[in-house]
A and B are shown apart, each in its own frame.
Chain A
Amino acid sequence: MSAQPTLEEIHAAIPGLGNLEYKDRGTFKLVYRFAGSNGPQALKLIEVPTSVGPGQDLESYVAELTGRVRRELDALKKCVGAALVRLGDIQLAEYSIAGRRYIAYSEEFLDGQSLIRVIQDANFGGATASQLAQLIIAGMGTIEALWHHGYIHRDIKPENVIATNDALRPYVFLDLGVAYSVIEPSLTTNKAEKWGTFPYMAPEVFHPTFRQFIDYKSDIYSLGVTAFIFASRRHPILEHANYEQGVALSMILMKKALPLVSLRSNLPLPLCRIIDGMLFKKQALRRGDIANMTAELKGYL
């Protein structure tokens, strides 16, 4: 990503953004806050590259990038879930800002902080049973809402969850940037490329022909890893972050996840087992009965 545009440069390109302020940046996106029609909104800016790495085709790369953003917004328009981020006033469009091409749109601005920041807070001792139940219920609702329209999120992780200050929506899931549709054609130009964030990716995603058989159970695995880390502040399989990638991959594929109760004996055992059950290697063993699971989890709220 090139230099960040100034607020004035953004104002010049996209008029009517009241109280605009810079908030954050992700792998591809810059995030700003502004006053929208129904409260604060998040402006998302994605720079369209003018060059790519050796062996890559710029035109295909740009087509894939814009296709992904379009799919993300299509998914957000179609899928209704209480814990899924909602779209804002600014419709997807391309803008020229300070001579550079950007794609921009807006979402609701969520008052809270990323779950990863909660977890990384030195004073955080691990989630309570109620927090875990809330997170999983919210996640399951999101996964179900997406799957209803044939989407898999593919990037559920603490960085993509906002712990809000809203008791009605305590956890909100965002960033469908690498969402996969089992109905629409694949957007990926390099079919060998795996989208997602490595330690959260389900074992089946590493299979060479994973597109043939991934489904929402892959998201359930990622949600399970997220919940496990929220509970214990460590990954269920990778003890630390310094493994060589091949070793880490082999561990993800072969090594059994640690039972959560071994790290959090003060959590109710059935709740630990629900989370452990989301981490099975085989998709069939991860529970798909979202309604029943949600009902069980409500007992911990």
Chain B
Amino acid sequence: MKMLAQHGALCGDKITDALELGYVDGAIFSPRDISVRKLEEQLNKLAEVKPESERLVDPQFYASGLVDDDSSRLGFLAGDDYPYFEMRRLAQLETEAQIQEDLTNTLQFQQRLNISTAIAPNIVIRRSLSSAESVIAKNFIRNTAASWANFNDVRPIFATLSISVEALMDLDEFLSFVNDLTVITPRPHGFYLLVSLSKVEDARYALMDPRVISRVMFLVHALSINGYEVVVGYSDLLSPLYGAVGARAGASGWWSNTRVFSLERFEPEKHSSSRPIPRYLSLPLWNRIKFGELAQLVTLGHPVLNQIESDRYFDSSQGFAPITNGETFQGWSALKELTKYLVADNDLQGNLTRISAQIKTAQNFYRTINVRLDPKSSSEHLEPMLQSLPQFATLAEEDFPG
């Protein structure tokens, strides 16, 4: 499984450096956060550093419904850099001609970039898989491959599929929707999958729900066995679970809003956010902890460090405060290590076994810690992850080895 950088604001040279250091295999760029000129520069640089790198650009068309609000945070999408990005109301997208026009404009833009795979536009299915949004989203997907074929470009094309956690809740609708995706013709090469939350801060509750995790795993698995490549955006700590069932790549960024997908990032700001405290991604805990907590746990003799090269970014002589970009590099490196350790290609049963064992080990480790940790640093995400595994196995009609 490959790990990609989920691009966001204030990128600098993070991605190129991380690619050079081998912490990521490529990047998914966010046009909202970068001018076209810089985007082209970055893509060319990545191709120069590693020609085989994954270079994707999320068109972020799903935010086009927010254009009419001046206070929306659309960044470069709101200017002239991205001509395909225009205001769209749902009613406009109910006509196939509009969908085809938006596909053509977006893919024409993507086609001239130094990308490795093109990503087609789509909207977010926010409420239900039997809604008008769902029909529109399927129409985008149905027209994706044909639209790309007009450009005679040999690079693969991915359809965007963005579903809210609420829309995943009706199991019958979900299963029927997944099957519809598997019989689409002509077929795109793969899917860029986004699991959407209404608020970033809901991640710990809404995303860490065994039903949500197991259904996303099922979706990835079904698409994968039906011959599609799947890249799960913003997958962060859940990446190994998606990789275990066939995802080709996962992604994570450097801000909390690039580790979880939500349209909230594009919406008018409701409250000002303070600068987050840097966190260290501990593999034994399968979680990020504040660097102060890291210092405290290390002092108490708890083996929370990953014992890998990227630990150097959290300097023990400075109370484990990370150096510049250290948090980002350490996080990517740890995620890559975790997926490398847990996920093997075409070994579903083995992957589930290893992941189950690793989660249990992390839970046991947490039990030995008698320090009060910040709620985000706690073990509360592990039980839903563990529960999601047999739930996935049942859905996928597979034996659960755990």
| Interface residues in chain A, defined as those with a beta carbon under 8 Å from any beta carbon in chain B | 213, 215-217, 256, 277, 280-285, 287-289, 292
Contacts and interface: CB of A to CB of B under 8 A. Distances in A.
Contacts of B397: 256, 280-282, 285
B175 A284 contact: yes
A282 B175 contact: yes
Chain A, interface SS category: loop
B227 A284 contact: no
B316 interface: no
Contacts of B396: 285
9 closest A-B pairs by beta carbon, nearest first, are A289-B227, A284-B179, A284-B222, A284-B178, A283-B179, A288-B182, A292-B227, A288-B183, A288-B226
Contacts of A282: 175, 179, 222, 395, 397
Contacts of A281: 397
Contacts of A283: 179, 182
Contact of A287 (B178, B187, B227): B227
B225 A285 contact: yes
A188 B156 CA distance: 43
B58 to A, nearest CB: 25
Most B Cβ at <10 Å: residue of A215, A281, A285: A285
A288 B178 CA distance: 12
Given A217-B183, A283-B182, 8 more contacts: A215-B179, A256-B397, A284-B181, A284-B182, A284-B226, A288-B227, A289-B226, A289-B227
A282 B393 CA distance: 13
Contacts of B131: none
B222 A285 contact: yes
B176 interface: yes
A154 to B, nearest CB: 16
Contacts of B179: 213, 215, 217, 282-284
A215 B179 CA distance: 9
Contacts of A256: 397
Nearest to B174: A284
Contacts of B395: 282
A183 to B, nearest CB: 14
Interface residues of B, number: 18
Contacts of A215: 179, 183
A287 B183 contact: no
A213 B172 CA distance: 11
Interface of B: 175-176, 178-179, 181-183, 187, 218, 221-222, 225-228, 395-397
Contacts, number: 44
Nearest to B187: A289
B183 A277 contact: no
7 contacts: A215-B183, A217-B183, A283-B179, A284-B178, A284-B179, A285-B396, A288-B227
A117 to B, nearest CB: 33
Contacts of B183: 215-217, 288
A287 B183 CA distance: 9
A285 B179 CA distance: 8
A217 B182 CA distance: 9
Nearest to B396: A285
A292 B227 CA distance: 7
A287 B226 contact: yes
Contacts of A216: 183
A278 B120 CA distance: 30
Most B Cβ at <10 Å: residue of A217, A277, A283: A283
A164 B308 CA distance: 63
A283 B222 CA distance: 10
A213 B218 CA distance: 19
Nearest to A216: B183
B38 to A, nearest CB: 38
Contacts of A277: 225
Nearest to B176: A213
A85 B395 CA distance: 38
A289 B227 CA distance: 6
A7 to B, nearest CB: 46
A288 B396 CA distance: 16
Contacts of A217: 179, 182-183
A287 B225 contact: yes
Nearest to B218: A284
Most A Cβ at <10 Å: residue of B222, B228, B396: B222
Most A Cβ at <10 Å: residue of B181, B221, B227: B227
Contacts of A288: 182-183, 226-227
Contacts of A292: 227
Contacts of B181: 284
A94 B183 CA distance: 38
A215 B182 CA distance: 11
A262 to B, nearest CB: 13
A281 B396 CA distance: 9
A285 B176 CA distance: 11
A187 to B, nearest CB: 23
Nearest to A204: B179
A277 B397 CA distance: 10
Most B Cβ at <10 Å: residue of A280, A288, A289, A292: A288
Contacts of A285: 221-222, 225, 396-397
Contacts of A289: 187, 226-228
A7 B315 CA distance: 97
B189 to A, nearest CB: 11
A289 B188 CA distance: 11
A213 B178 CA distance: 12
Nearest to A277: B225
A116 B47 CA distance: 57
A287 B187 CA distance: 13
A282 B181 CA distance: 13
A28 to B, nearest CB: 30
A52 B182 CA distance: 42
A215 B227 CA distance: 18
A288 B184 CA distance: 9
B219 to A, nearest CB: 9
A277 to B, nearest CB: 7
A37 B396 CA distance: 52
Contacts of B218: 284
